Chain A
Amino acid sequence: MTTSTDRLEKSILLRAPLERVWSAISDAKQFGSWFGVEFEGGFAAGTPTFGEITSTTVDAEVAKSQQRYTGLRFEFVIDRMEPMRLFSFRWHPFAIEPGVDYSSEPMTLVALELEEVPGGTMLRITESGFDSIPLARRADAFSANEEGWETQARLLEQYVALAAT
């Protein structure tokens, strides 16, 4: 994984044929089954679609942790669909705080790119546009998790002190 201020990038080698991976990421029903979302309609380039968070059917443990978000509704705006090669969409990244209206905030762009490689399919995910997400949103997003913040704070102070020299 590489990180800049604006983007996240990840690659994963999937030991499955290109066609199989393409259908898993471009078919709304299949996408939903691993992502944990049930979409109201199919994916079409340039078109918004709404989904509701469901419990994933792939992993029981994760399903349990997703339960508190079940029923939350969010929007995907499908950007491009180039068969066997590229699927991209815009969304409010993991906008899972109940009761928060994200609609006025900028969206990030997620691109899933496929490449056939020996032994399977390489999937590269790029999510960009984080620089325009409001600071307050970033601080709020995971504030529910208090665990270990004191340790984190000490690390932060050391890190910042180092960067300032």
Chain B
Amino acid sequence: MFAALGDETRMRLVARLCEGGPLSITRLTAGSKMSRQAVTKHLAALSQAGLVRSDRAGRERIWRLETKRLVEAGRYLSAISEQWDAALERLRRLVETEP
């Protein structure tokens, strides 16, 4: 799953959103070494990919996970891996059955 996120900071943000439910940037940044600016940047990237979304609540934005999209992103590498397995099985049949 985390492989799909490709970045440790994003992985931590997703983990915090998953654990702590919808959170504001202030809450997401609290108690971590990440700057507000860095968090904002990563949330923007995740949001652009449709992996998180935000709603305005008063003066703040509240961020939440798009769980379904995250699962799809997580399937990416394993799906490619399965495609290779199938292709290699066909290669095996080709080279092992022909003289």
- Interface set of A (CB-CB < 8 Å, partner B): 1, 3-6, 8, 10, 12, 14-16, 20-21, 24-25, 30, 33-36, 56, 58-59, 62, 93-94, 123, 125, 127, 130-131, 133-136, 138-143, 145, 149, 152-153, 156-157, 159-161, 163-164
Contact = CB atoms under 8 A, between A and B. Distances in A.
Interface residues of B, number: 48
A144 B69 CA distance: 11
B58 interface: no
Contacts of B2: 5, 163
B83 A94 contact: yes
B46 interface: yes
A15 B16 CA distance: 49
Interface string B59-80: 0000000011111111111011
Contact of A143 (B19, B45, B72, B85): B72
Given A14-B95, A138-B76, 7 more contacts: A14-B92, A14-B96, A20-B95, A20-B98, A136-B49, A139-B70, A156-B70
Contacts of B28: none
A1 B84 CA distance: 11
Contact of A4 (B3, B87, B96): B3
Contacts of B90: 34-36, 56, 58-59, 62
Contacts of B95: 14, 16, 20-21, 24
